[in-house]
Amino acid sequence: MKGKSGGFTTIEFIVTLGISAVMLGLAIPAFSVWVADSGLKRAATDLFSTMQWARTRAIKGNTQWAVVFDVTAGAQKYLVCSDPGGDGNWSTTSDNSIEKSITLSDYGNNISFGHGVATDDIPGNGSPPTDDVSYTNDLVVFNSSGFANRGYVYLQNSKGNTYGIGTRATGIILLRKWNTNASRWE
């Protein structure tokens, strides 16, 4: 009797290659969804943290700080400002003291202001958000007591997944994710 070789037969190799191809074919779509969602989650948690930071700086400095959202198609960014400048207007950012500037495309080309597939706004009024940034003049201002104007910012990715980040008048900052399966914010 001849000794057996320790290698694969051609058929075993083809079967193994076929199984690997099927597994890879199943993994790639799941991986692409995970990558898109991770960029969105990172953008949302960074905005949440940035708003917390601005609120803390306003309290510590006994002054006002603002987060100004630039929702124009080419910009898609937000600025953290420690002073409204000589005109006293946070909305005209050209003379504001800008502490941070964050561009949403830094989290991936598919991250933008938008409510994606969300069918209800965060206050739960039963209708989709009418504005991707619900703050008056697209900005939130934190005063020296940490209070803020009410509103929300919605971030989306190309898959339609959505996060909402907002403030209550008390200055409490909220982070919510739209659960597509349950049709509600969590």
Spans of all domains in the chain: 36-185
Confidence band, pLDDT 50/70/90 cuts, at residue 124: confident
Give the neighbor-by-neighbor strand order of the sheet with 184-185: 112-113, 151-156, 162-167, 173-179, 184-185
The answer to whether the Cα torsion of 180, 183, 184, 186 is positive or negative is: negative
Q: Model-level pTM? A: 0.81
At 12 the pLDDT is: 82
d(CA 51, CA 157) in angstroms, rounded, equals 21
Confidence band, pLDDT 50/70/90 cuts, at residue 108: confident
Q: And the tokens for 170?
A: 């008390």
- Among 34, 44, 182, which Cα is nearest to 113's? 44
State the first-to-last Cα distance of the chain, in angstroms, to the nearest integer. 68
Q: And the tokens for 126?
A: 């039963």
Is-contact 65 140, C-beta < 8 A? no
Ramachandran region, residue 43 (left: φ > 0; alpha: ψ -120 to 50; beta: rest): alpha
At 31 the pLDDT is: 53
Of the two residues 2 and 7, the one the predictor is more confident about is 7
pLDDT tens digits, 88-97 = 999 999 999 9
Other beta carbons within 10 Å of 168: 13
What's the CATH superfamily of 36-185? minor pseudopilin epsh domain (3.55.40.10)
Least confident range of 17-31, 88-102, 107-121, 146-160: 17-31
At 14 the pLDDT is: 86
